[in-house]
Structure formats: structure tokens, C-alpha cells
């Protein structure tokens, strides 16, 4: 499980040290750095996946595309180096990368420390570590199980990719692989703690059951397209109606679908990075998403969620109060820019067993109260 992230001279951060728990909530102002935190983890995961052997950090790939070295190096620091550090419960690794040319599309590893000890940068690294210790690295093992669902998810689509089963390890950064994953793994058994009671415990039946929890009467159907590497996804929002193309139904169904597939297909030890799970959902459904994510984290699947929704946050708070997750297993980080000089500030309110925070920073999900104060 991820325990800490350290960033130096990465994008908007001159320096950041962030703790993680089974469920970590990233909140805050626009341009406050929430997405940069997720991108740092996704960059390392992408590099491990696309360049198992090599000495560089891949800035542009199928999941993350950040441009040149100049785009990821902190402009205030003005240097040519950045550091990404990751700690699990048993290991801590810091990678320092350098770009001699700020136009470069990757950065070269120039220093690697494992538990405070420098490692030699060999001509050929495996997963950015000396090859004789890469396989045993807990940090590498954890980062190779990171799956990212971005805020920019695919809209309603009737035809989606159907690739080799191994290429559907996750739902895809935009959720575009969710239908294929569900097709190949439809008979996999879902963790008992995440199953809708009274429903068959296989992935296909549980995804449909959870869809009905959020959208009563809804259902879905998958059909391989003959003669093509594609699959047809049809949905309905009324049990009495026929299946339709997703674009003829509410956006909420197609936006929530990949999130449900991802969390129900995950296994203990996986790390899910989920941005804005609340997109196109009614406030009550947003709250229920928060409760579900808390249950997922309590089942041993680490969740890092970035959200602007107080309803998602309240769902997590309600889950803590109902003991669906232990309060100490939730970390909340509020990232904002100072109104004085624009510098980044961080606050981490602590959740108690009754779902209350020990502090409520200004700007932390308080807009409703601010507007109500003006109206009254």
C-alpha cells in the first residue's frame, strides 16, 4: 500500500510531502495540484509498463501525456531536475531525474535512493532500479498495480474496443476498456464485502446489480461485434423498456459504468486513482459513490480519489460513522493557493469516528454555507 509521496520541483510543486491511507481524498481549488499528485503516480506506473528496461521517466505514453521536460519542471525553482519519491509500508524510494535539454520528452535518472541508500545507476535499469533488486521491490510491486481513471472519461459510446484479455487489466484511463474487461472477466467472483446481497457474486451480475442501486430499473448488455475487435454496449434506464444505445440515455450511466467495473474487478493490493467520480451524477448518487469507495478501501483495495463534490465527501464521512471504514484509514488533503501571493498551501483535516473533522479550513467544501449566509 502507498504510504507517502514526495515531490520536488515537479509541475506546480517546489516541494510536497503527502501521506496516504487506504482511502485518500484530494480536494481543493482549481490549479491547486490535485491532478499533479495523481499524474506523478501515473507517470511512474506508465514508465514501468511501457519501458520495463531503461533509465528514463517517460513523459508521454498511452495514459499520461505531459509534453516536454519544461512542462513538468517547476518554473519557480527554475532547475533541470525533479524528484519523485514513493514509500510503502516496508520501503521508500526516491528517484531524481534530470533533463539537459528542456525540450526533451523524457528525463534521465541521475540518482536513486532506496531506504536512504544510494544505488548505482546501471546502463540498463529494470523498473528504474538495479535489475537484481527490482523483482523484490515493494514500491515497484505496488506501482505496477496502479490503475487510473481520469476525469476526462469517454462519453456514451455504443462500440468500444475489445482487445486481448491481458490488455484489459484495467478499465483504461478514460474508461474505454471497461466493457471489454467486463466481457472477459464476467465470471470472476467479486469480493464478498462489495457484493449486493441476494445477487449472484460474479462480476457481470454485480456490475448490473450496482447499476440498479444507483439507477433503479437500469440494465446493460454486451455483444461482441462480428468481424471486428469491438464490443457493443447497450443500456436501459427502465426495466420495462428495450435496450438502447448509451448516447440515448443519461450521461450518468455511462460515466459511472467504468468506475463500477474498476472497483468491483479490483483485488486487494490494487491501487485505484479515480478523478471526479461524481461527474453527471445526482447529489444522492454522488453521496452513494462516496460510501461505495469507502467500502472498496475497507476491502483492501487502496483508493485515491480526487473530487470537488461535498456529497462524495459526506458519503465517506457517513461510511466512517457507520463503521464501514475505520476513520483512521481515511486521509483528506486540501490543496489551495494562497489568496495573498498564490503560493500552494496544504491542509489535512483529520476525520474522527463520528465522521467529523478536527478542523474546517476556509474554502474546504464550505461554499454552500457561504452562499446561505449571504441569502439569510
State the maximum Cα–Cα separation within the chain, in Å, rounded to a whole number: 67
pLDDT number for residue 29:
86
Q: Which residues contact 11 (CB under 8 A, 6 or more apart)?
A: 33, 36, 39, 71, 72, 74
| Pair (374, 287) in one structural domain | yes
Q: What SS3 class is residue 15?
A: strand
| Pair (138, 162) in one structural domain | no
Integer Cα distance of 200 and 202 in angstroms = 6
- For the entire predicted model, the pTM comes to 0.95
| Pair (244, 353) in one structural domain | no
Domain boundary among 265, 280, 303: 265
Q: What SS3 class is residue 42?
A: helix
Instruction: State the pairing for strand pair 146-149/117-119.
Output: unpaired
Integer Cα distance of 226 and 289 in angstroms = 35
Single out the residue of 215, 171, 192 nearest to residue 295, CA to CA. 192
As for how many domains the chain has, the answer is 2
Domain boundary among 206, 231, 265: 265
| Pair (253, 320) in one structural domain | no
Q: What SS3 class is residue 208?
A: helix
Range 345-348, long-range pairs (CB < 8 A, 24+ positions): 346/16, 346/18, 348/19
The tens-digit pLDDT sequence of the chain (376 residues) is 999 999 999 999 999 999 999 999 999 988 889 999 999 999 999 999 999 999 999 999 999 999 999 999 998 877 899 999 999 999 999 999 999 998 999 999 999 999 999 999 988 899 999 999 999 999 999 999 999 999 999 888 889 999 999 999 999 999 999 999 999 999 999 999 999 999 999 999 999 999 999 999 999 999 999 999 999 999 999 888 899 988 888 889 999 999 999 999 999 999 999 999 999 999 999 999 999 999 999 999 999 999 999 999 999 999 999 999 999 999 999 998 877 777 888 999 999 999 999 999 888 988 888 888 889 8
| Pair (199, 119) in one structural domain | no
Integer Cα distance of 206 and 204 in angstroms = 6
| Pair (105, 49) in one structural domain | yes
Centre a 10 Å sphere on the Cβ of residue 97 and count the other Cβ atoms it contains. Answer: 27
pLDDT number for residue 308:
95
| Pair (78, 182) in one structural domain | no
| Pair (226, 294) in one structural domain | no
Domain boundary among 265, 290, 315: 265
Task: Burial-class residue 73 by CB neighbours within 10 Å (0-12, 13-18, 19+).
Answer: buried
CATH number at residue 277: 3.40.50
* Residue 172 domain boundaries: 154-265
| Pair (138, 273) in one structural domain | yes
| Pair (135, 7) in one structural domain | yes
Rg (CA), the chain: 21
Q: What is the grid cell recorded at 75? A: 518554473
| Pair (170, 131) in one structural domain | no
Integer Cα distance of 18 and 138 in angstroms = 19
| Pair (103, 44) in one structural domain | yes
Amino acid at each position: 500500500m502507498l504510504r507517502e509521496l514526495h515531490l520536488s520541483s515537479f509541475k506546480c510543486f517546489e516541494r510536497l510531502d503527502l501521506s496516504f491511507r487506504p482511502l485518500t481524498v484530494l480536494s481543493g481549488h482549481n490549479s491547486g495540484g490535485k491532478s499533479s499528485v495523481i499524474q506523478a503516480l501515473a507517470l511512474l506506473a506508465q514508465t514501468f509498463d511501457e519501458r520495463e528496461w531503461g533509465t528514463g521517466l517517460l513523459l508521454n505514453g498511452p495514459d499520461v501525456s505531459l509534453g516536454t521536460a519544461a512542462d513538468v519542471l517547476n518554473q519557480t525553482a527554475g532547475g533541470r531536475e525533479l524528484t519523485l519519491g514513493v514509500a510503502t509500508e516496508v520501503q521508500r524510494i526516491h528517484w531524481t531525474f534530470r533533463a539537459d535539454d528542456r525540450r526533451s520528452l523524457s528525463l534521465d535518472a541521475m540518482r536513486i535512493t532506496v531506504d536512504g541508500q544510494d544505488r548505482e545507476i546501471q546502463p540498463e535499469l529494470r523498473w528504474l532500479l538495479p535489475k537484481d533488486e527490482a523483482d523484490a521491490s515493494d514500491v515497484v510491486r505496488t506501482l505496477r498495480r496502479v490503475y487510473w481513471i481520469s476525469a476526462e472519461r469517454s462519453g456514451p459510446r455504443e462500440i468500444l474496443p475489445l482487445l486481448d484479455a491481458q490488455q484489459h487489466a484495467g478499465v483504461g484511463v478514460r474508461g474505454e476498456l471497461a466493457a471489454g474487461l467486463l466481457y472477459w472477466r464476467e465470471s470472476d467472483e467479486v469480493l464478498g464485502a462489495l457484493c449486493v446481497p441476494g445477487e449472484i457474486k460474479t462480476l457481470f451480475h454485480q456490475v448490473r446489480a450496482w447499476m440498479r442501486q444507483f439507477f433503479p430499473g437500469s440494465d446493460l448488455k454486451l455483444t461482441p461485434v462480428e468481424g471486428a475487435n469491438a464490443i457493443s454496449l447497450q443500456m436501459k434506464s427502465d426495466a420495462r423498456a428495450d435496450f438502447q444505445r448509451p448516447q440515448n440515455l443519461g450521461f450518468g450511466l455511462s460515466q459511472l459504468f467504468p468506475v463500477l467495473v474498476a472497483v468491483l474487478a479490483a483485488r486487494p493490493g490494487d491501487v485505484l486513482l479515480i478523478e471526479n467520480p461524481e461527474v453527471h451524477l445526482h447529489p444522492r448518487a454522488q453521496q452513494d459513490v462516496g460510501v461505495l469507495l469507502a467500502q472498496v478501501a475497507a476491502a483492501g483495495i487502496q483508493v485515491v480519489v480526487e473530487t470537488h463534490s461535498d456529497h462524495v465527501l459526506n458519503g465517506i464521512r457517513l461510511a466512517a460513522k457507520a463503521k464501514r471504514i475505520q476513520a483512521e484509514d481515511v486521509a483528506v488533503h486540501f490543496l489551495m493557493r494562497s489568496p495573498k501571493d498564490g503560493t500552494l498551501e496544504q491542509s489535512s483535516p483529520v476525520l474522527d469516528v463520528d465522521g467529523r473533522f478536527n478542523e474546517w479550513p476556509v474554502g474546504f467544501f464550505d461554499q454552500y454555507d457561504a452562499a446561505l449566509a449571504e441569502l439569510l
